[in-house]
Amino acid sequence: MAMAESNIANGRRLPAELNSFVGRRHETAEVKRLMSESRLVTLVGVGGVGKSRLALRVACDVRRAFPDGVWLVELAALESPELLAQTVSEALGVQDRSVRSPIDVLTGHLRDKHLLVVLDNCEHLLDDCAVLAATLIRAAPRLSVLATSRQALGVTGELTMPVPPLVVPGLDNDRPSTASLRQSDAVRLFVDRAHAVLPGFELTDANGDSVARICRRLDGIPLAIELAAVSLRAISVDQLLARLDDRFRLLTKGARTAMPRQRTLRALIDWSYGLCTEQERLLWARLSVFSGGVDLEAAEQVCSGDGIEPDEMVDLVSGLVGKSVLAREDHGSSVRYRLLETIRQYGRDRLRESGGEQELKLRHRDWCRDLVGRAEQAWYGPGQLTWFARLRAEHGNIRAALDHCLTTPGETEPGLDIATALRFYWIASGSFREGRSWLDRLLAADHEPSAARARALVVDARLAVLQSDFAMAAAMLDECHNLVARLGEESILAMSAYVVGFSALLQRDLDGALRMLGEAVERSRDEDDQTGVVNALLYLATAHSLLGHTEQAVTHFKECVEMCEARQEHWFRSYTLWVFGIEKWRQGDTAEAVEMERLAIRLKQPFDDRLGIALCIEALAWMAAGDEPERAAVLLGAARENWRSFGGPLFGNLSDYHDACEASTRERLGGRRFDTAFRKGTELGSAAAVAYAMGEDPGRGRQAGETSPLTRRETEIARLVAQGMSNKAIAASLVIAQRTAEGHVEHILNKLGFTSRAQIAAWVGEQDHRDPGSSS
Ligand SMILES: Nc1ncnc2c1ncn2[C@@H]1O[C@H](COP(=O)(O)OP(=O)(O)OP(=O)(O)O)[C@@H](O)[C@H]1O
Ligand SMILES: [Mg+2]
């Protein structure tokens, strides 16, 4: 099954730990205790002390207590507080395309959910996080929040836990044994990290004392220990200790009193910085303009020049990774690099001091504009999915660039270019609201008439139409047309005709749709803009289909499918298949229609296009209504459940098919059977709903790659069964009645066609083997 699906079913995976986790036994227990007393717990402490790492560890430990999952929201890279609720929604996989406020959407989605949200690194958005956490807790009685922050959020009912540094060895013992030193978490962390850079490294009687002193020097701050340990690549433990001693004596001017922890860490980062070459320092500072990581290509484009040649980048990046300044992250076949927050801020300060910050922000903006421009060009083609994934990975950087454009005088136009070029991305990623929000604010920031403005207005109007905000869309299109009349940018008219036509289609004005979409197709053909052609043709065909113009509809649909196939394109093709399938079904060719819908779903899965998938499931319900009314009712329920979050009406005239399907199915089944089947559909969960729609019979001969037929709760329980737990133990661990647990196990056996718990255990093992990590 696609990764996105298992994420939906099981909650977002917590990131895998890249290196060993050390100690914290007492703190872990304490956090769990606090979480049992309050639904809002905040871990506070200085930078680098290990708040985030501890939060993730606890989240992973308690995940089974939250059937709706444990979700990590990383806030360090988020600069605009307006996007907070949106960011949380995204991290939780909530898609919503309506005009409701993001916080309403979020509370609506979470109201009946039993889950844990980890808000990591809240300090720079303290007030906003406080309001958000308080709102969520109030709205959702079974939701818990675990936050990390340098300061408490200050919300009533919040319990805070100061995260102490790692325990360092005591002073009482002159020559501590290695066994007693290993009791210290700080020493263990040091030894682990030393071992990573120097595989033969061991704690011995000879070096034990120095290691203990180093850990004390560093106050047991994990980040400081990690930064220091990497220097063992080049020097000995004693040399490291001597250097740290010199350094700190200088800083405290020989005073025997300890420095505050902030200063210890700062001193350590200064020290690391000092160990870097001139060029590495330059790169460290420059990399701090990125938000949410960077790949090599971006680093080359933005950070080279003025002292760094592009072909030196690989060596410099490796140097920084080696010094633990940059963390390497593997994403499938690509590699990204990330600065830990404290280290990024340090780099930002250096960049600011050097007077280079503005220049770097401009280069970052240029890189971003170039990237999204290339993505737009390549969208309608074989690289579509790769580009989609790439933009997703760069979402943090895109936001940083847009934020810069919005807050820097004279930068509106590049901002409009970036937000406009992302037109397909905003739609495909379900970020209607975010796209509109950037476009609205940029358009309001500067009213200078320009082609960039006219184009931005069309894109903004298109997003508004998708949210059924037709009045706003019409106003923006008016302004756009006035601009075009003044500036003579005729090329924009194809796009605007499309938006006017699409809007008419959704509002059931089929003649208007026909006229304007026809115009859009012609203008796009004149401009030789294939993307514009396929996009408009698809809905022109739909308008014909709805009007009963079968021949024109089929001709156009066929042209669309052929165009997309020739370009190995998936997005437009999946939407074409969806409406083409409906046309086929109207003609009575149900078998082919079903195949089309299923292929459309398959094409949509990698985009996690839940809106599109819901539309196809809905169509499959209509197709089943004739012969399999029960199945139709289940599918209607599944589509409704998937549809629920999007708000807005179904799709102009298509909603008539929905009404007819529901009425006839209800009549044939009778109210009670209909309701039962419908409810079964709503309870399937996304992955099982797709499996059902695809006609996979989960009971027999399951093949690799098929989706699980179990609901989230059942999956949870199957895992506990696989761990050998009795029904009683399962009930206790999930805080449910034993009878309920028994009922669930019964269901699981039935659904999987098994007779024993051992079979369930074997099945869980197989699933994990097929899809490792899906349990978290
Ligand atoms: N218990 C631990 N075991 C192993 N490594 C740890 C532990 N605690 C922290 N670290 C490591 O120390 C570094 C800093 O930790 P972390 O990022 O959790 O600190 P933080 O308090 O969240 O800092 P910031 O305030 O900058 O966000 C990370 O590289 C982390 O992996
Ligand atoms: Mg942190």
Answer whether residue 251 shows pLDDT above 80: no
Ligand nearest to the CA of 326: 1
Q: With residue 119 as reference, give the H or E element that holds it.
A: strand 116-120
Strand 294-295, strand 334-339: pairing: antiparallel
Laid out side by side, the sheet with 144-149 consists of: 70-74, 116-120, 144-149, 40-44, 159-162
Answer whether residue 754 shows pLDDT above 90: no
Phi–psi pair at 40, nearest 5 degrees: -130, 110
- What is the rounded distance in angstroms from the CA atom of residue 166 to the CA atom of residue 576? 58
Q: Is the CB of 727 under 6 A from ligand 1?
A: no
Q: What is the dihedral of CA 89, 92, 96, 99, to 10 degrees?
A: -10
Query: Which of 336, 323, 327, 337 has the alpha carbon at shortest distance from 280?
Result: 323
Distance 120 CA to ligand 1 centre (A): 12
DSSP label at residue 155: -
Ligand nearest to the CA of 223: 1
Q: Whose CA is nearest to atom 31 of ligand 1?
A: 53
Angle, helices 3-10 vs 686-693, to 10°: value is 130
**Residue to substitute in 22, 53, 168, 326 for testing ligand 1 pocket (most ligand atoms within 8 angstroms of CB):** 53
At 265, list the tokens. Answer: 């860490």
Query: Which of 82, 105, 126 has the alpha carbon at shortest distance from 134?
Result: 126
- What is the rounded distance in angstroms from the CA atom of residue 164 to the CA atom of residue 168? 11
Band of residue 775 on the pLDDT scale cut at 50, 70, 90: very low
Per the CB < 8 A criterion, the answer to whether 502 and 472 are in contact is no
Of the listed ranges 389-393, 505-509, 728-732, the least confidently predicted one is 728-732
How many Cβ atoms from other residues are within 10 Å of residue 478's Cβ?
12
Q: Read out DSSP for 465-481?
A: HHTT-HHHHHHHHHHHH
Answer whether residue 648 shows pLDDT above 60: no
- What is the rounded distance in angstroms from the CA atom of residue 119 to the CA atom of residue 123? 10
Distance 1 CA to ligand 1 centre (A): 33
Atom of ligand 1 nearest to the CA of 327: 29
Of the listed ranges 36-40, 242-246, 247-251, 740-744, the least confidently predicted one is 247-251
Q: Is the CB of 149 under 6 A from ligand 1?
A: no
Angle, helices 313-322 vs 278-287, to 10°: value is 90
pLDDT, average across residues 42-58: 90
**pLDDT value at residue 328:** 83
DSSP label at residue 305: B
**pLDDT value at residue 271:** 76
Answer whether residue 252 shows pLDDT above 60: no
Q: Is the CB of 107 under 6 A from ligand 1?
A: no
Highest mean pLDDT among 47-61, 651-665, 749-763: 47-61
Ligand nearest to the CA of 72: 2
DSSP-based three-state secondary structure for 173: coil
pLDDT, average across residues 393-408: 93
**pLDDT value at residue 314:** 92
pLDDT, average across residues 618-638: 94
Atom of ligand 1 nearest to the CA of 56: 18
Q: Whose CA is nearest to atom 29 of ligand 1?
A: 223
Q: Is 578 exposed, middle or buried (0-12, 13-18, 19+ CB in 10 A)?
A: buried
At 494, list the tokens. Answer: 């194809």
Laid out side by side, the sheet with 326-331 consists of: 294-295, 334-339, 326-331
At 723, list the tokens. Answer: 């761990």
Q: Whose CA is nearest to atom 18 of ligand 1?
A: 50
Distance 301 CA to ligand 2 centre (A): 28
Which residues are CB-contacts of 616 (< 8 A; sequence separation ≥ 6)? 578, 581, 597, 598, 600, 601, 604, 693
Q: Whose CA is nearest to atom 1 of ligand 1?
A: 22
Per the CB < 8 A criterion, the answer to whether 309 and 316 are in contact is no
**Residue to substitute in 19, 184, 340 for testing ligand 1 pocket (most ligand atoms within 8 angstroms of CB):** 340
Query: Which of 50, 557, 775 has the alpha carbon at shortest distance from 342?
Result: 50
**pLDDT value at residue 533:** 96
Ligand nearest to the CA of 120: 2
Q: Read out DSSP for 709-771?
A: -S-HHHHHHHHHHHTT--HHHHHHHHT--HHHHHHHHHHHHHHHT--SHHHHHHHHHHHHHHS
- What is the rounded distance in angstroms from the CA atom of residue 717 to the CA atom of residue 736? 11
DSSP-based three-state secondary structure for 338: strand
How many Cβ atoms from other residues are within 10 Å of residue 709's Cβ?
22
**pLDDT value at residue 464:** 94
DSSP-based three-state secondary structure for 327: strand
Q: Is 47 exposed, middle or buried (0-12, 13-18, 19+ CB in 10 A)?
A: buried
Q: Is the CB of 581 under 6 A from ligand 1?
A: no
Query: Which of 759, 721, 763 has the alpha carbon at shortest distance from 742?
Result: 721
- How many Cα atoms within 13 Å fall on the side-chain side of residue 422? 31
Q: Read out DSSP for 650-717?
A: SBTBHHHHHHHHHHHHHHHH-HHHHHHHHHHHHTS-HHHHHHHHTT--TTSS--TTPPP-S-HHHHHH
Q: What burial letters (b/e) apply to 321-356, b meaning 16+ CB within 10 Å?
A: eebbbbbebeeeeeebbbbbbbbbbbbbebbeeeeb
Q: Is the CB of 404 under 6 A from ligand 1?
A: no
CA 58 to chain centre: 21
Question: Of all residues in the chain, what percent carry a pLDDT higher than 70?
Answer: 91
Ligand nearest to the CA of 324: 1
Per the CB < 8 A criterion, the answer to whether 433 and 86 are in contact is yes
**Which position has the higher pLDDT, 302 or 251?**
302
**Residue to substitute in 14, 20, 44, 223 for testing ligand 1 pocket (most ligand atoms within 8 angstroms of CB):** 223
Q: Is the CB of 308 under 6 A from ligand 1?
A: no
Answer whether residue 645 shows pLDDT above 70: no
Atom of ligand 1 nearest to the CA of 225: 12
Phi–psi pair at 14, nearest 5 degrees: -75, 150
**Which position has the higher pLDDT, 80 or 332?**
80
Phi–psi pair at 328, nearest 5 degrees: -90, 135
Band of residue 725 on the pLDDT scale cut at 50, 70, 90: confident
Q: Is the CB of 165 under 6 A from ligand 1?
A: no
Per the CB < 8 A criterion, the answer to whether 49 and 149 are in contact is no
Strand 116-120, strand 70-74: pairing: parallel
Answer whether residue 704 shows pLDDT above 50: no
Distance 560 CA to ligand 2 centre (A): 49
**Residue to substitute in 24, 31, 52, 167 for testing ligand 1 pocket (most ligand atoms within 8 angstroms of CB):** 52
- What is the rounded distance in angstroms from the CA atom of residue 152 to the CA atom of residue 160? 7
DSSP-based three-state secondary structure for 11: coil
DSSP label at residue 160: E
DSSP-based three-state secondary structure for 71: strand
Amino acid making up residue 745? V
Ligand nearest to the CA of 339: 1
**pLDDT value at residue 8:** 31
Q: Which residues pair with 145 in a beta bridge?
A: 40, 117
Per the CB < 8 A criterion, the answer to whether 648 and 467 are in contact is yes
**Which position has the higher pLDDT, 175 or 621?**
621
Which residues are CB-contacts of 561 (< 8 A; sequence separation ≥ 6)? 573, 576, 577, 580
Which residues are CB-contacts of 38 (< 8 A; sequence separation ≥ 6)? 157, 158, 159
Query: Which of 431, 375, 376, 443 has the alpha carbon at shortest distance from 399?
Result: 431
Atom of ligand 1 nearest to the CA of 53: 18
Distance 48 CA to ligand 2 centre (A): 7
Q: pLDDT per residue over 489-510, tens digit each?
A: 888 999 999 999 999 999 999 9
**Which position has the higher pLDDT, 245 or 40?**
40
Band of residue 458 on the pLDDT scale cut at 50, 70, 90: very high
Q: Which residues pair with 73 in a beta bridge?
A: 119
Q: pLDDT per residue over 401-451, tens digit each?
A: 999 999 999 999 999 999 999 999 999 888 888 899 999 999 999 899 999
